[in-house]
Homo-oligomer: A and B are copies of this chain.
Amino acid sequence: MNLQDYLAEKCRLIDSAMQEYLPPEDRFPDAIYRAMRYSVLNGGKRLRPVLTLAACEAVGGKDETALPTACALEFIHTFSLIHDDLPALDNDDFRRGRPANHKAFGEATAILAGDGLLAFAFETIAGRTTGVPAETVLAVVRRVASAAGMGGMVVGQVVDMQSEGQKLDAATLEFMHSHKTGALIEAAVLAGGMLGGATEAQLDALSLYGKRVGLAFQIADDILDLEGSQAKTGKTIGGDLRRQKATYPSIYGIQKSKEVASQAVAEAEDALRDFDERAEPLRALARLIIEREA
């Protein structure tokens, strides 16, 4: 399997589905639809939706079953980026090398575009998923909603905010990241497995895989913020330092952080030891996470 070809194919599939699902830009009131499309259709990595499709495939499911949920996860990820960039939160003017949503469309529209994407994610999962029992779709809604809100992102972002300029202990750092980033990544993997018809044992394995991949991803992100190339990441390098954010490197140092990330990737791969060759994309994705440059 060639991972780059795999990623290119899945990204095309996901981008074309999101194009189709999102209301057109010429619908009234167009400002909100333009704002949503601006932030969603921006050539992002599509990590979460690709994980959903790959997890579905790993247990023998089909792309089309998981595709609406995959897109919903990208809508939720985009909602969180738009709101995190707001002046009252991280106050970031740039995202992926372009003006942040609130710089391009104004703060009010950005808040509403985020709100709209969050609601639209659940409308998409509930309204577009076919080929699986309604009980399964409902379980996916519940899990994804928890990861987006009180069991994940919202809570993680609160801790992130509160911790600026503070010295965090390792447990609080772990709580923050496992909620802010980890929960949605784990939910993406689990939702793919659920929609693909995974057994309970497979879901346990996917849950562990998702947790480890989420941790490795966050550490890699922290390291890229210190060592990365602004041209490749599209973000200001050193932003975490400037905002005195607690990161893995700030607590463990860069070398130790890299070891923890490698260890997490090894554990993610090991969690899939009983899966057959259909889990190759998931395994390759785990390795890619610590090798990426953006």
Given contacts A115-B115, A118-B119, A119-B118, contact A107 B88 (CB under 8 A): yes
User: What chain B residues lie within 8 Å of A175 (beta carbons)?
Assistant: 28
Given contacts A119-B154, A126-B142, contact A29 B108 (CB under 8 A): no
Q: B-facing mask of A67-87, CB < 8 A → 1, else 0?
A: 000000000000100010010
Minimal beta-carbon separation of A252 from chain B (angstroms): 22
Tell yes or no: A249 within 8 A of B by CB: no
A127-150: which have CB < 8 Å to B? 127, 133-135, 137-139, 141-142, 145-146, 148-150
Q: Which of A83, A115, A137, A159 has the most CB of B within 10 A?
A: A115
How many copies of the polypeptide does the oligomer hold? Answer: 2
Q: B-facing mask of A12-40, CB < 8 A → 1, else 0?
A: 00000000000100001101100000000
Q: Is the CB of B137 within 8 A of A119?
A: no
Tell yes or no: A89 within 8 A of B by CB: yes
Docked Cα-Cα span, A175 to B29, in Å, equals 10
Q: Is the CB of B145 within 8 A of A108?
A: no
User: What chain B residues lie within 8 Å of A162 (beta carbons)?
Assistant: 29, 31
Q: Which residue of B79, B111, B135, B157 contacts A83 across the interface (Cβ within 8 Å)? A: B111
Minimal beta-carbon separation of A91 from chain B (angstroms): 10
Tell yes or no: A122 within 8 A of B by CB: yes
Tell yes or no: A168 within 8 A of B by CB: no
User: What chain B residues lie within 8 Å of A135 (beta carbons)?
Assistant: 134
Q: Which of A83, A86, A135, A154 has the most CB of B within 10 A?
A: A154
User: What chain B residues lie within 8 Å of A233 (beta carbons)?
Assistant: none
Q: Which residue of B23, B88, B109, B146 contacts A150 across the interface (Cβ within 8 Å)? A: B23
Given contacts A79-B115, A115-B115, 13 further A-B contacts (CB under 8 A): A32-B154, A32-B155, A109-B161, A112-B158, A112-B161, A116-B150, A118-B119, A119-B154, A120-B150, A123-B145, A123-B146, A126-B138, A133-B134
Give 22 CB contacts A-B under 8 Å: A28-B175, A29-B158, A88-B111, A89-B108, A89-B111, A89-B112, A112-B154, A112-B157, A112-B158, A115-B115, A115-B118, A116-B154, A116-B155, A118-B149, A119-B154, A123-B146, A125-B141, A126-B139, A126-B142, A133-B134, A134-B135, A138-B141
